[in-house]
Structure formats: C-alpha cells, structure tokens
Amino acid sequence: MKKVPILVIRNTLIICIQNDLTDTAILELQNDILDKTYKTRVNGVIIDISSLDMIDVFLGKVISDTTKMVRLLGAQAILVGMKPNIAITLIELGFEMPNVKTAIDVDNGLKILNKYEKYNATKVLEVTELSGED
Amino acid sequence: MILGVVEIFHEKDIVIARQTARELTKDMGFGLVDQTRIVTAVSELSRNIFKYAKSGRVIFESVESGKSRGISISFIDKGPGIESIENAMKEGFSTDKGMGLGLPGVKKLMDYFKISSELEKGTTVVIIKWK
C-alpha cells in the first residue's frame, strides 16, 4: 500500500496527500500525522492537497477531523492548495469544512503558521544557515 | 455503448472505479469541473456498494439524446437494499456514522439520478451527466 511521506521542516509537518489512496490508507495517514505531531512536538501541520483531483465526503471528513485533532494536540493545522474544481464540487455536495483553516499554497500556509506562533521562519533560516546546519 | 465495467469486491476497487471515471470523462471531453463532479459521485456510490452490499458492479456507458452526449453510470448490487429511499435521500440522514451527505449530495452533482431498491434484493443507482 502507498505510504504518504510526512516531512518535518522547521517546526512544521508537511504532508502532501496523493490521489488514489484507499480509505484504509487515508485513515492510516491520519494516525501517522497525529503520531508525528505528538512525537516531534511541532507547532504546525500543513496538509497539501494540490495534487488531489477529487475530495469525496469520506476524505473531506477525515481531513477536517484531522485538523481538529491536531488542534487538540496543541498544534495548528492548515489545509493548502485546494483546486477550484474541488472547491466547487465540495460546496455543491454540501460539504463546507467551515472550521478548517486554509491557505492558497504551502508558502502561504507557512506564513499563516508563523503569524500564529509569532515564530519567524526566516530568522530561524538565517541562524541555521550561519551555523552551517543546512 | 458500454465503455467500461468495474467490479467492486475490495476497498481498492473504489479507487479503480474513480480512476476509470477519470479516464473515461477525460476521453469524452468533459470539462475539469464536470470530471471532478463525476469522479466524486462515482467514489461516493462505489463506496456505498462496498460498505453496505460488500460487492457489486459499476457500469459506465455513453448515452445520446438528440445532439447531446453524456455518460451514464449504473451502480448495481445485490446487497440488503435500502429500507427507506425517502430517508436515504434526506440531507443529514445516515444509518451509520456518515454525514448523510452521500446520496443527496451525489444527486446535486448530476443531471439525472435514479435509485431503486428492494429489501434483501439489492440496490441500483443510475446517474447521468450530459456534456
């Protein structure tokens, strides 16, 4: 079964959900995200759906639940990269995900997280570059 | 004309039904939003087969009416059937932990939606989207 990679970058998890995951794989991914959020003690989780060409009610509900669960753990989750065709279809289906934070892409998602956490990624970037960790 | 048939037995077959819908609607020249509507509807209805009837069949057909062309997709199972279609078509109604958006939601995405069901005999859903 396909395994979705979860990247940990500067206090943030980044997950890029792919097409064609089975329902079981999607639930496993939810579990992995929560596990990794807890273990790595990140501040933010970015769920990138820009490569998806469909969200049905099941996937939409898992994504929306995951962002709520992440919040309960003490981090912020942002859904990024939804395509217009998916937004149209979801609203027509009656599935609006009102409590899910969204951003246009990963970059904007990071900006929102930074504002939220009063945490400046560029400064961390400079520091790590100076210390030669990159 | 039959364009494709997907047998639903395993969870993975829901994904195959989606892929088939994606390829066929693309080939037929549906716009991106319509492709998404159709793939989403196929995903919902295929999952219903897997969840409630365990197995069934999805048949993709091209249909014509006058000058318009479209795709008709039938979801046929020999599962337990639906006790009350009226309830199943109500938004917010769900027999399990679902959100009850499935059937009424699919209907909104399609141009034609017909469901027939008989207890202990099975359920058939037919949807059509015109180009």
> Three-class SS string for chain A?
CCCCCEEEECCEEEEECCCCCCHHHHHHHHHHHHHHHHHHCCCEEEEECCCCCCCCHHHHHHHHHHHHHHHHHCCEEEEECCCHHHHHHHHHHCCCCCCCCEECCHHHHHHHHHHHHCCCHHHHHHHHHHCCCC
- Residue ranges of domains in chain A, CATH in brackets: 6-131 (3.30.750.24)
Kindly provide the ipTM of the predicted complex, given to two decimals: 0.90
Say which DSSP state B130 is in: E
- What pLDDT score was predicted for residue A44? 96
- Contacts with A54 from chain B: Cβ below 8 Å: 18, 22, 36, 39-40, 43
Residue A116: pLDDT above 90? no
The percentage of chain B sitting over the pLDDT mark of 70, rounded to a whole number, equals 93
**pLDDT digits over B95-120, tens only?**
665 655 688 899 999 999 999 999 99
Cβ <8 Å between A89 and B40: yes
- Contacts with B30 from chain A: Cβ below 8 Å: none
Give the residue from B12, B40, B99 with the most A CB atoms within 10 Å of its CB, the best one to mutate: B40
How far is Cα of residue A23 from the mean position of the Cα atoms in its chain? 18
- What pLDDT score was predicted for residue B120? 93
- Of A117 and A93, the one with more pLDDT: A93
Q: How far is B48 from chain A (nearest CA, A)?
A: 11
How far is Cα of residue A111 from the mean position of the Cα atoms in its chain? 13
Q: What's the mean pLDDT in B66-70?
A: 93
**pLDDT digits over A4-23, tens only?**
899 999 899 999 999 999 99
> Would an 8 Å CB–CB cutoff place A20 in contact with chain B?
yes
Q: Which of A22, A55, A84 sits opposite B15 (nearest CB)?
A: A22
Nearest chain A alpha carbon to B46:
A56
Q: Say if residues A54 and A94 touch (Cβ distance below 8 Å).
A: no
Helix (H, G, I), strand (E, B) or coil at B123: strand
How far is Cα of residue A106 from the mean position of the Cα atoms in its chain? 9
- What pLDDT score was predicted for residue B128? 98
Tokens of B92: 């917010």
Residue A2: pLDDT above 80? no
Residue B70: pLDDT above 80? yes
| Cα gap B107→B117, rounded to integer Å | 16
Residue carrying the six token digits 């945490």: A119
- What pLDDT score was predicted for residue A130? 60
